[in-house]
Amino acid sequence: MLICRLFLVQFYIFYNTIHTVMFVTQAQSVVNGLTRIVGGQKVDISSYPYQLSMQYGGRHICGASIIGTKIALTAAHCTVSLSASRIRLRAGSTSRTSGGQMVQVAKVHQHPKFNYATVDYDISILEVNPAFMYSANIKNVPISTIEPKEGTKVITSGWGTLRESSHTLPTELQSVEIPVIERSKCQQLYRRRGIVTIRMICAGAAQGGKDSCQGDSGGPLVSGGKLVGIVSWGFGCGRVRYPGVYTNLNNREIRSYIKRIAKI
């Protein structure tokens, strides 16, 4: 199943195999194939101080990243039809359930070209109020100005499930290191599953077993301490020949949107 990597009830998710939109009823707390960290390890927030738990109605649904004192980035598919007044971000805590600073989202800027069927332009900018209180565990991550080349080791993190069919999210933050896959190769791998555009970047272990998964959507993909992508979609989690697909923050249109809205 090829879908986005959020963990939520009563949400639209995207079944790209047939390019239709599925509706997850309240009885379905998990959908197979969404994103969480697979094959990684437990880590401390002090090593990932930009990492956020995006919560809706008090439940973790996606990840997000701090890029400014009042600005965070997440995936557009994480914000579809949501009211900003019900979205809160937990910063500065290894646990998704307690600790750190809880910040209210004041406004959601979902990319106007976001496409349900292809999950293209998968980015939303979140304005928060009050501001993040920077500390050893709460800091912004700079956005890279260079798209990483094939083979570059990148790190993704979040509170997503540990395996594809799991119905349980870990309480503590996880991360995994994976290599970037050249876009043309990724397009070939996904040629019968979905569309990999220039606004996407792929990363994953060739042998499988390492990936983002359900609950990691919207979270960071980092290279050399700089943000290069946003967890977006994939075919299952950690499957051989199917790397994770991330929003490419070095794409001209995506970067221009961030500069225009966030002034960063």
Question: What positions carry a catalytic annotation?
Answer: 77, 122, 217
- Per the CB < 8 A criterion, the answer to whether 262 and 68 are in contact is yes
How many helices, marked H, and strands, marked E, lie in the chain? Answer: 2, 16
Which has the closest alpha carbon to 44: 115, 101, 92, 110?
Answer: 92
DSSP SS3 for 240: coil
Surface-to-core class of residue 97, CB atoms within 10 Å of its CB (0-12 exposed, 13-18 middle, 19+ buried): middle
Cα–Cα–Cα angle for 258, 259, 262, rounded to 5 degrees = 70
DSSP SS3 for 138: strand
Which has the closest alpha carbon to 212: 10, 60, 40?
Answer: 40
Q: Quick check: bond before 220 cis, omega within 30?
A: no
Largest CA distance in the chain: 46
Return the H-helix or E-strand segment holding 24.
none
